[in-house]
Structure 1
Amino acid sequence: MRLVPWWALFSSGCAPVILVAGWAIAALLEGSAYDSATQTISVLAAYGAAGFWVMTAALLAVGVCHFVTACGLRAATRAGRTALAGGGLSALAVVLVPAPSSGGDLRHGSVAAVGFALLAVWPVLAAQRDGAAPWGLRPTPSLLATALMGVTAAWFLFEVRHQGVIGVAERLVTVMQSLWPFVVVVSCLRHSRQRRLTAEQT
């Protein structure tokens, strides 16, 4: 059985592209009133924002992509797949609880925090102890991915507290979290190909 189906490559690859395109287009629609360095992505998806529908649609699409990828990533552990799927559902929930244009809201922040946490821990939860596992599901890369996401999330919280470059920190952590599923899927496909070639040679 293949470790991942072809459509998991499509869903995982679309997530980071849609996310970045979404905030870029929404920021353009918002104009000079929006500062991507100091304001969050959520501001772009707030009611009344010029790019509301663009950013909202992007968040919905990214959430669906993560959920679909979790369904197809058969090589990962059940706990890891559940966390990734939960992160995708959290993205959908964020849309249902939009932030105000000011950017601060406890309910929205709580839902977003759950999503951040699930997408940060899924790599280490998905890791296989088997040394023959695909590279993206081995303990060391998975632990490093989770640690890096945790550090950048801590930086984001620091910037929020000190009203610094919140937008930069948030974009860094969200890009990493949306990109890692793609890295894992590619490593699984490469692993399957190498295993097939080895079988053919023997």
Structure 2
Amino acid sequence: MRAVPSWAVATAAAAPVLLVAGWTVAGARQPPGYDPVRDTISELAGEGATDSWLMAGCLALLGCCYLGTALVLHAAGLPSRFLLALGGTATIALIAFPRPQVGGSPAHGTVATIAVLALSLWPAGSALRLPRAVRRGVAASPAGTPPWAFRRPVALAATALLLVLFGWFVVEVTGGSRTGLAERVAALAVALWPLAAVLSARRAHRRFLARSPEPPAADPARPDGPPVSPGRPGAGG
């Protein structure tokens, strides 16, 4: 079982912090007419926004956080890591397709949809590969079960919740008055799950190391001989 480096915890933890800090600071720079409950995050990085570089920079760093997590989270499996990396790449690509000040943008909408769907579906990718992974001893704890974030019921429930939140955002876009609130809740939930997955994998790895059998001790009567297991009598016993 591969270890998750400490920097991956910091990277995953930085994602929700960057997101909240970005929309808070950038939102404070907007004219009084901007309403975070009604208006979206994309408007903060879009054309005509005051200091749009603030939210754009946070989105770029947020995407890099997702890419960094996907790079080292081996316990999730390749399908999930691919979706997480795709979501991170699409998040960064939003900078290249800002939302126009007036009207919509098919390119922005497409890239944003790819980002949200990939980041919502990546937990389920690990759940669908668990039976084979457990049999091969990959992504499993010493007890034979995967880290809790990658267990089938948990992973599928996470994806279901993220898709429900995304659905709420779509409903608000089509005629609601809380579009910004729905988007913020969904985006924050998406940003928190990689952190939960990283912490779960690290906890499982620590348990794996704690339960690993110690190497056999050397026989004091035969210092040059092969090691013997504790309690086994030596050659001269």
Shift of 1:195: 1.8
Change (3 A) 1:192 1:32: same
Give the TM-score taking structure 1 as reference length: 0.95
* Partners of 2:22 and 2:104 in 1: CA distance: 21
* Partners of 1:82 and 1:44 in 2: CA distance: 28
Shift of 1:66: 0.2
Higher helix proportion (structure 1 or 2): 1
* Partners of 2:8 and 2:38 in 1: CA distance: 34
1:160 to 173, 185, 195: 173
2:147 — aligned with what? 134
The sequence identity of aligned pairs, in percent, is 38
Q: Which runs of 5+ in 2 are unaligned?
A: 135-143, 216-237
Give the match's secondary structure for 2:74: coil
1:192 — aligned with what? 205
Does the aligned pair in 2 maintain the 1:27–1:51 contact within 8 Å? Answer: no
Q: Which structure's relative contact order is higher, taking Cα pairs within 8 Å and 6+ residues apart?
A: 1
2:13 — aligned with what? 13
2:219 — aligned with what? none
1:59 — aligned with what? 59
Which contiguous aligned blocks of 4+ residues in structure 1 show a shift greater than 6 angstroms? none
Name the aligned partner's letter for residue 176 of structure 2: Q
Change (3 A) 1:133 1:46: same
Give the match's secondary structure for 1:36: coil
Shift of 1:192: 0.9
Matches within 5 A, 1:67-78: 67-78=67-78
Asked if 1:175 corresponds to 2:181, the answer is: no
Matches within 5 A, 1:32-111: 32-102=32-102, 104-111=104-111
Shift of 1:201: 8.0
> Which has the higher mean CA deviation after the structures are superposed, 105-114 or 179-188?
105-114
Give the TM-score taking structure 2 as reference length: 0.81
Summarize deviations over 1:143-175 as a string: whole Å, max 9, x none. Answer: 001000010111100000013200010001100
Name the aligned partner's letter for residue 199 of structure 1: S
Greater CA radius of gyration, 1 or 2? 2
Asked if 1:145 corresponds to 2:158, the answer is: yes
CA RMSD of aligned residues (A): 1.6
Summarize deviations over 1:59-84 as a string: whole Å, max 9, x none. Answer: 00000000010001011110000000
Q: Which runs of 5+ in 1 are unaligned?
A: none
* Partners of 2:31 and 2:11 in 1: CA distance: 30
Give the match's secondary structure for 1:63: helix
> Which has the higher mean CA deviation after the structures are superposed, 46-55 or 32-41?
46-55
Name the aligned partner's letter for residue 61 of structure 1: L
